[in-house]
Homo-oligomer: A and B are copies of this chain.
Amino acid sequence: MDPFEYYKANREKFLAGLKEWLKIPSISTLPEHKSDVRRAAEVVAEEFRAMGLDKAELIEGAAGQNPLVYGEWTGAAGQPTLLLYGHYDVQPPAPLEEWLSPPFEPTVRGEDLFARGASDDKGQTYILLKAVEGFLQATGRLPINIKFLIEGEEEVGGAHIEQYLATRPPQLQCDAALVCDTEMFAPELPTLTTGLRGLVYTEIEARGAAQDLHSGLYGGAAPNPIQALAEILAALKRSDGRILIPGFYRRVQRPSRAELDAWKRLPFNERTFLRKEIGSSALVGEKGYSVLERLWARPTLEVHGIAGGFTGEGAKTVIPAVARAKVSMRLVPDMRPTEVIRQFRSAVKRLTPPGIRTTVRVLSAAPASLVKTDNRFIEAAAEALAQVFGQKTVYIRAGGSIPVVGLFQKHLGVPTVMMGFGLPDDRLHSPNEKFHLPNFYRGIEAVGRYFSLLAGR
Give the B-binding residues of A (Cβ under 8 A).
157, 197, 199, 201, 207-211, 213-224, 226-227, 229-231, 233-235, 237, 239, 241, 273, 277-286, 291, 294-295, 298, 300, 302-311, 314-320, 323-326, 328, 330, 353-357, 363-364, 398-401
Report, nearest first, the 7 A-B pairs whose CB atoms are least far apart. A216-B400, A210-B279, A305-B309, A234-B234, A230-B233, A220-B294, A307-B311
Q: Is the CB of A234 within 8 A of B230?
A: yes
Q: Is the CB of A317 within 8 A of B280?
A: no
Contact of A354 among B218, B281, B306, B326 (CB under 8 A): B281
CA distance A229 to B199 in the complex (A): 24
Which residues of B lie under 8 Å from residue A281 when comparing CB positions? 354-357
Contact of A219 among B229, B300, B311 (CB under 8 A): B300
Which residues of B lie under 8 Å from residue A230 when comparing CB positions? 229-231, 233-234, 303, 306
Q: Is the CB of A309 within 8 A of B308?
A: no
Residue of B nearest to A201 (CB): B315
Residue of B nearest to A210 (CB): B279
Q: Is the CB of B315 within 8 A of A216?
A: no
CA distance A306 to B318 in the complex (A): 12
Distance in Å from the Cβ of A355 to the closest Cβ of chain B? 4
Given contacts A217-B295, A223-B278, A281-B357, 10 further A-B contacts (CB under 8 A): A157-B315, A201-B317, A220-B298, A220-B330, A221-B273, A221-B284, A221-B291, A304-B316, A306-B311, A310-B326
Contact of A330 among B219, B328, B355 (CB under 8 A): B219
Q: Is the CB of A363 within 8 A of B318?
A: no
* CB within 8 Å for A319 and B295 given contacts A218-B278, A221-B285, A399-B220: no
* CB within 8 Å for A319 and B304 given contacts A295-B221, A354-B282, A399-B219: yes
Which residues of B lie under 8 Å from residue A401 when comparing CB positions? 216
CA distance A284 to B229 in the complex (A): 15
Distance in Å from the Cβ of A279 to the closest Cβ of chain B? 3
Contact of A197 among B216, B324, B354 (CB under 8 A): B216
CA distance A220 to B197 in the complex (A): 12
Q: Is the CB of B314 within 8 A of A215?
A: no
Which residues of B lie under 8 Å from residue A217 when comparing CB positions? 295, 398-400
CB-defined A-B contacts under 8 Å, sample of 27: A197-B216, A217-B295, A219-B399, A220-B241, A220-B298, A222-B284, A223-B280, A226-B233, A226-B304, A227-B233, A227-B234, A229-B306, A230-B233, A231-B233, A233-B234, A239-B353, A280-B356, A281-B357, A283-B355, A284-B353, A302-B317, A303-B308, A304-B317, A304-B319, A305-B310, A306-B311, A315-B328
Residue of B nearest to A430 (CB): B211
Q: Is the CB of B328 within 8 A of A294?
A: no
CA distance A174 to B323 in the complex (A): 47
Which residues of B lie under 8 Å from residue A231 when comparing CB positions? 230, 233-234, 239
Distance in Å from the Cβ of A173 to the closest Cβ of chain B? 30
CA distance A133 to B328 in the complex (A): 66
CA distance A221 to B294 in the complex (A): 7
Distance in Å from the Cβ of A321 to the closest Cβ of chain B? 8
Q: Is the CB of B326 within 8 A of A208?
A: no
CA distance A283 to B208 in the complex (A): 10
CA distance A357 to B279 in the complex (A): 12
Distance in Å from the Cβ of A434 to the closest Cβ of chain B? 18
CA distance A401 to B294 in the complex (A): 49
Which residues of B lie under 8 Å from residue A302 when comparing CB positions? 215, 219, 224, 227, 317, 319
Q: Is the CB of A221 within 8 A of B309?
A: no
Contact of A209 among B279, B304, B364 (CB under 8 A): B279
CA distance A303 to B325 in the complex (A): 15
Which residues of B lie under 8 Å from residue A328 when comparing CB positions? 215, 315, 317
* CB within 8 Å for A300 and B215 given contacts A315-B157, A326-B309: yes
CA distance A286 to B394 in the complex (A): 59
Contact of A283 among B222, B294, B398 (CB under 8 A): B222
CA distance A226 to B204 in the complex (A): 14
Which residues of B lie under 8 Å from residue A209 when comparing CB positions? 278-280
Which residues of B lie under 8 Å from residue A295 when comparing CB positions? 217-221
Which residues of B lie under 8 Å from residue A215 when comparing CB positions? 300, 302, 304, 328, 330
Distance in Å from the Cβ of A403 to the closest Cβ of chain B? 11
